[in-house]
Homo-oligomer: A and B are copies of this chain.
């Protein structure tokens, strides 16, 4: 029995338009090596599914439905915001994890997530060895934040980037045509609490300084109200309108988020009005321009309908490579995307040791931000452009996308003790 171990796959943290493509890559690659890997069990709601022994037997799903994961947004098996801490603090959880793995003869752990899950993955590999039931733990990269080190980009990011670039360019054409008598300033709020990667992608919509977006507000550049308003005014006076892309993480010099402006509502509750609203009202109050604003929120990271073909291919590739690395005996690694050329974009996949991945954030390099702080540089554009290339449309029926329809048959529990979260 031990010669053919099962695999456990779980999704972690915020989901993306293409995280299920990574699931598809893992499951299809495992199915292609049935001689070496038993079944792939997926955690219902991520790692919680392992702790509570609540797993889905993916071997009961048809090849067609597994393949349909390629065009299905969200997390097909459920994800979780649940961080395992250090080995000492969270020893009970780690031990329970290994107990479950042992009970279900799981020798491979594929953890699909961002920085936190890379850390968990690393620790599972360490502790399982110590507990005498070594598990090969492979981290499958995923995060719209694009902040994992070593890898050229993180699957999920390219599709958000494409959505934001396309949406910015469409909305800009709308505002441009209304500006004479109506809206002059349009603000689009995008995700990115710590790094401005997604906001930067909005910059792809325009090639010259007069093109929209005229202003990008990045978390990396302290917000200066005077300079900002001056730039808005300049843009409206020159181009008749102004398009602003603002990161939800945009902040003042002292680290306060724009969105956290300390205002309270009628009930005395702190206003959580987003950055876009704050910025838009600032423009109206100080300059008197009519504004509109949009908050993309979950729409941006679930927009499978306009996913990047490059991103989709990479999401699948890291899932597949994770299985191949496991079969090659690797442990505590992450398949990283290595860029070998910009134009045309070329990349391959290499194993990056998790010790070098865990707990490191890749920030936007300074050379990607224009000297005035309001835009992106040619180097940034060169980096971002290939990531949004190609369209990969889902199939449609009656005007709506068709998604995977999984049976999600649970794996029979084997442990006597229920686990309380």
Contact = CB atoms under 8 A, between A and B. Distances in A.
A294 B299 contact: yes
Interface stretch (A55-63, A98-106, A166-174, A351-359): A166-174
A302 B173 contact: yes
Given A45-B180, A263-B265, A298 B186 contact: yes
Most buried by B among A81, A205, A400: A400
A205 B75 CA distance: 18
A113 to B, nearest CB: 13
Contact of A15 (B167, B177, B180): B177
Given A173-B74, A295-B293, A166 B305 contact: yes
B177 A76 contact: yes
A199 B294 CA distance: 16
A385 interface: yes
A347 interface: no
A11 interface: yes
Contacts of A74: 170, 172-177
Contacts of A301: 174
B389 A15 contact: no
Contacts of A173: 72-74, 302, 403
A188 B296 CA distance: 10
Given A174-B74, A297-B293, A180 B80 contact: yes
Given A45-B181, A80-B181, A263-B266, A298 B175 contact: yes
Contact of A294 (B170, B175, B296, B388): B296
Interface string A365-406: 000000000000000000001001111010010111101000
Given A171-B298, A285-B267, A166 B400 contact: yes
A18 interface: no
A399 B204 contact: yes
A175 B299 CA distance: 11
B262 A272 contact: no
B302 A174 contact: yes
Given A74-B174, A294-B296, A294-B297, 20 more contacts: A15-B174, A15-B178, A45-B180, A74-B170, A75-B174, A75-B178, A79-B177, A79-B178, A166-B400, A167-B299, A171-B302, A175-B298, A262-B266, A263-B266, A271-B273, A272-B277, A276-B295, A294-B295, A296-B299, A389-B399
The 6 closest A-B pairs by CB, nearest first: A74-B173, A75-B177, A388-B399, A294-B297, A170-B302, A174-B302
